Structure formats: structure tokens, C-alpha cells
Chains A and B, each alone.
Chain A
Amino acid sequence: MMQQTTDHEIASRSKGVRLTVTILASLAVAFFLLSFLQITMMK
């Protein structure tokens, strides 16, 4: 038995995916830059 998916739910999922990707991609960039900061501060 399958549930029904509404367009509203699909739109809400897309919004969630976009938000998740934005946050995670920002985190990845932050960690990349942090490695340089860490080295510079430890030197």
C-alpha cells in the first residue's frame, strides 16, 4: 500500500534539500579555510 504525496509536500522537500545542501556546502568550505587558519595560528 502506498501513501499519497501532494505537490505541497514535494515543494517542501525541495526546499529542505536546498537548505541542507547550502548548510553542508558552507560547512565544507569553512573546514577547508579553517585548516589554513589553524596552521597560520600554530606557526
Chain B
Amino acid sequence: MSNAATHDHHDDHHGAPKGFFQRWCMSTNHKDIGTLYLIFALTMFFIGGSFAMAIRAELFQPGLQLMQPYFFNEMTTLHALVMIFGAVMPAFVGLGNWMIPMMIGAPDMALPRMNNLSFWILPFAFTLLLSTLFMPGGSAAGGWTMLPPLSLQSSSLAFTVFAIHLMGISSIMGAINIIATILNLRAPGMELLKMPVFVWSWLITAFLLIAVMPVLAGAVTMLLTDKYFGTSFFNAAGGGDPVLYQHIFWFFGHPEVYIMILPAFGIISEVIPTFARKPIFGYKAMVFAIASIAFLSFIVWAHHMFTVGLPLGAEIFFMYATMLIAVPTGVKVFNWVATMWGSSMTFETPMLFAIAFVILFTIGGFSGLMLALVPADFQYHDTYFVVAHFHYVLVTGAIFAIISATYYWLPKWTGNMYSEFWGKMHFWNSVIWVNVLFFPQHFLGLAGMPRRIPDYNVAFASFNMVSSIGGFLFGASQLIFLGVLIHCAFFSKNKATDRVWEGAKGLEWTVPSPAPYHTFDVPPVIHDDELAHGNVNA
């Protein structure tokens, strides 16, 4: 009887396809696609970073030194689009691709061919987006929010919108794949509340993506029809309202912020217990806190719009709703601290980045609370204070978490240990210079320096110079990261053990290092003491 047929365990019954094209362009293997995503994200990180260097170079001194204002605006716009959609989001999808199947005992993603398509859309989307830099009239320069009527002046709007559509389709397909994998392909015994927090964070993030990426697609489609097909969704002369665009954009935009930070919470919740050699404190509270933050992210969008002239009742609602997010976020921060409290911690590079995340992300959270206050926001809005706030959240938050995850799982991916010395060099350089880069921007904002300007009052000169020096050195520090990655992947002689870290728990550490091309063709037996966070139901 066919139902009685069984599948024997063969982790390595066939390896990677021969030939570069077959392996990397036609791949349906979650590990290879994860690698592709991560390499793509790193490439975009350096491209987006080079735009940031251009911005900081121009702002090194008051006056126009290096570029015309329109090019400066192109740089700020593309820096944001490339970093958000090209670096941070694909990095998390790459980490999810690599680790989620291994963490839940699945053989691969549920839809491997769609996984291939999700990735290969991205290089075309970003080629399209970046190619607008070389077009007559230049690229989009109205900021990543693309607010009308300013964004409608761009002659390359159609290319930008189409690139965003492609990114959105890729994200939605990736999210569907992740949810289908987690809900259907978990090994028997891997109940939902036994899953690693990283898997939980991605499950919730994927639902956010499915809910909000189509809304962004709708908003930019309306921009397109307003410009080329004579509609008046956002055109006041035709009966439309540009503020409506802001509502619909931020209905996408605020959950998008959490799309970029919830997987980071998941990563930190894996790294800290490993190096603290303790199960995470309050596993269920951590999971419910992520879900609460995700829910609240849908009802706070207008805190980005306090100065557009909202009714007072709406301002008060969005202010309190925003402040409410501090509660589940506080639960997470206190639980990370409680996990470390009284533990036998060691400070390998992933742990250093994780601890820096907890401290520096919290600074970004606190400045977020300041921005949530309506009367205060009227002062801070569109100043460098906002720039400082979201860079603390996204650089020392999301990107530090991605770097932490890379160091944490790199030995499992490559089978080699990275250089701990150079890892720590990378950490200390990053953590010092990122603060030199972004902390003075708080002062600039409080003193009234507006964001998105290529020139500024001489009163702001000193802090801008300090910030630019920090920026150049932070950018240079990331070349150490690149060197560590290349050395680890191709030249390291220091072989990794299967478990890699003494305190590491979870299914991914039960497979050899490097992880075989195929893992868990048949589901593993789940032992509670092997679960990433123990049996929380016991």
C-alpha cells in the first residue's frame, strides 16, 4: 500500500548541480537561494552605502562643494530605496531562506521554484531603478516616500514605479513561501510554540508583508495613473487630495518599519541565549510581544503626518497608539537583559553586535517616543533629529542584527570559522563610528537643521563635519566585514564544529558544518532538550 511507503534518510543523496548557471540561476535549493539573497543584499549595502558617502561628503562643509542639489536629492532618494528594499529586506529573506527550513526540520521551502523567481526578480528591479540615474532627467529625487505632487515631476517615475512593483511582487512571493513553509512543513513535534523566536518573527513579518506591500503597489500605481493617464487621485485641481497619498503610503510605511525590525528581534533572541548559555527569558512573552508590535503597527501610521493638519482627535489617538508600542518593545528589551542577567556570558563577535543592538536600538526607540509626542513632533518634524532616530533603529538595529546573524551562522554556512580578531575589529570600529556618525545628528535636528538639504547654515558646520567623519570611517569599517566574509568562505583553515557555539541549541546545530546541500529529507525526531529555547510548555 502506497501510504505505507516510507522515505529513508539520505542527507546527501545528490549534491549541488554542476555548472555555474545550473547551480545559481536555476537553483531551487533554499540554501543556494539564501546565499544569493545575502550576496545581493551585501552588494546593495555597498551601493547604498556609496550613496550615503556622497551625501556625507557634500554635507562635510556648508555650501555646495561636490554636487548639484538635484543630484543630492537623487542620492538621498536612492540611498533609502536601495538600503530598504535592496539591502535590509533581502538580507532578512536570505537569512530566512537559509535558516527557517533547518530550524523547523523542513527539507526545503514549500515552493522552491517560486523561491527562485522571488530572488531573480530583484536584480532586474534594481538594475531598472539604478539605471534611471543615467537617464535624461535623472532618477527619482523626491524622497523614498515619493510624495505627490513633487514626485510627479520626475521624468523617470514610470521606471521607479515599475521597479517598486517588481520588488513588491518579489517580497509578496517570498512572504507567501515563508508562511506556507512554516505552517505546513514543520517536522512532527515542532509545535508552533516550540519554534525558535527567529522563525516566529519571520512568520509574523511575512503576514505584515502580505498586508502592506500590495497597498504600496496600489499607491504607486495611482501615482502612475495620475501622471500618465489623467486620473486625479492626488491632484487637487481634479478633485483629489495629495494628503490621501500620505495616508495610504504610511499605512504601508509604518508596518514596513517593523518588517525591517521584527526579524532582527528574532535574530537577537537566538544569539543572546546562545552566548548567555541560558534559555531565553519569557519565550511566550517574546512571541506575543512581536505579535502585539505587528498589530499596533497598523494603527499608528499617521504619526508620520502630525504636521499635515490632522484633526486633534486623530493626533491624540495616533500619539497614544504609538506610545503603546513601547510596552511590548520594553518587554523584549527587558527579557533580553533578563536572559543575560546572572548568565555565563562570553563575548564573541555575534554577541557583541547583539548587545550593541539592545543598547543602541533602545536609544532609537526612545527618540521614537519623543517623536510620538504631537507637540514635540511639530518641532522635530523633517529635521535631522528624525534622521538620527531612524538610523539608530535601522543601522544599529536592523543592520547590526543582520551582521550579528551573519557572524553567528557563517560557520554553519561555510564550515569554517571566521577570524574572531577581525570580527572584533569590525565590531569596535562599527560601534564607535556609527555613534560618531549619527549621535550628533540629534543635536543638529534639535537645533533646527532640516533634512534632505545639500547646503545648510554655518551654525551647523561643526556637528556636520563630525558626523561626516564618522560616516566615512563607519563606511570604511564595513570593508573589514567584507574581508572577514571572503577570508572565512574561501581561505580560513579553521574548521567549524557541528555545534559551533558551546551554548547553541536548535535543529540547525544538529546538522554538519557546512550544512549539507540537502537537510531533513525526512523529518527529524524532535527532542525537547534540543529545541532552541527548550520546551516552554513543560
**Interface of A toward B, CB cutoff 8 Å:** 1-8, 13, 16-17, 20-21, 24-25, 27-36, 38-39, 42-43
| B215 partner, pick from A8, A16, A24, A34, beta carbons under 8 A | A34
Q: Interface segment, B268-276, B463-471, B520-528?
A: B520-528
CA of A27 to CA of B4 in the docked complex: distance in angstroms?
37
Check B218 against A32 for contact (C-beta < 8 Å). Answer: yes
Which residues of B have CB within 8 Å of A31? 210-212, 214-215, 218
| A17 partner, pick from B111, B175, B222, B523, beta carbons under 8 A | B111
B244 in the interface (beta carbon within 8 A)? yes
Which residue in chain B gives the minimum CB-CB distance to A30? B214
**Interface of B toward A, CB cutoff 8 Å:** 2-7, 9, 110-111, 172, 175-176, 179-180, 183-185, 187-188, 210-215, 217-219, 222, 233, 239-241, 244, 247-248, 251, 522-525
Which residues of A have CB within 8 Å of B222? 35-36, 39
Check A28 against B240 for contact (C-beta < 8 Å). Answer: no
| B176 partner, pick from A13, A25, A35, beta carbons under 8 A | A25
Contact A16 to B7, CB < 8 A, known contacts A2-B522, A25-B176: no
Which residues of B have CB within 8 Å of A13? 184-185
CA of A23 to CA of B176 in the docked complex: distance in angstroms?
10
Check B7 against A4 for contact (C-beta < 8 Å). Answer: yes
Which residues of A have CB within 8 Å of B218? 31-36, 39
**Further pairs besides A6-B4, A35-B218: 5, Cβ < 8 Å:** A4-B7, A24-B176, A35-B219, A35-B248, A43-B241
CA of A7 to CA of B187 in the docked complex: distance in angstroms?
15
Which residues of A have CB within 8 Å of B184? 13, 16-17, 20
Check B185 against A3 for contact (C-beta < 8 Å). Answer: no
Check A4 against B522 for contact (C-beta < 8 Å). Answer: yes
CA of A42 to CA of B289 in the docked complex: distance in angstroms?
33
Check B217 against A32 for contact (C-beta < 8 Å). Answer: yes
CA of A34 to CA of B240 in the docked complex: distance in angstroms?
17
CA of A42 to CA of B239 in the docked complex: distance in angstroms?
11
Q: How close is A21's CB to chain B, nearest CB, in angstroms?
A: 6
Of A4, A6, A31, which is in contact with the most chain B CB atoms at under 10 Å from its CB? A31
CA of A28 to CA of B199 in the docked complex: distance in angstroms?
21
Which residues of B have CB within 8 Å of A25? 176
Check B525 against A1 for contact (C-beta < 8 Å). Answer: yes
Check A5 against B6 for contact (C-beta < 8 Å). Answer: yes
Contact A6 to B5, CB < 8 A, known contacts A28-B172, A43-B240: yes
| A20 partner, pick from B179, B188, B215, B239, beta carbons under 8 A | B179
Q: How close is A26's CB to chain B, nearest CB, in angstroms?
A: 10
> Can you list 30 A-B pairs, Cβ within 8 angstroms, ordered by A?
A1-B524, A1-B525, A2-B523, A2-B524, A3-B523, A4-B7, A6-B6, A17-B180, A17-B185, A20-B110, A20-B183, A20-B184, A21-B176, A21-B180, A24-B176, A24-B179, A27-B210, A27-B211, A28-B172, A28-B176, A31-B218, A32-B215, A34-B218, A35-B214, A35-B217, A39-B218, A39-B244, A39-B248, A42-B244, A43-B240
Q: How close is B108's CB to chain A, nearest CB, in angstroms?
A: 12
Of A3, A7, A34, which is in contact with the most chain B CB atoms at under 10 Å from its CB? A3
Check A3 against B244 for contact (C-beta < 8 Å). Answer: no
Check B522 against A5 for contact (C-beta < 8 Å). Answer: yes
Check A38 against B523 for contact (C-beta < 8 Å). Answer: no
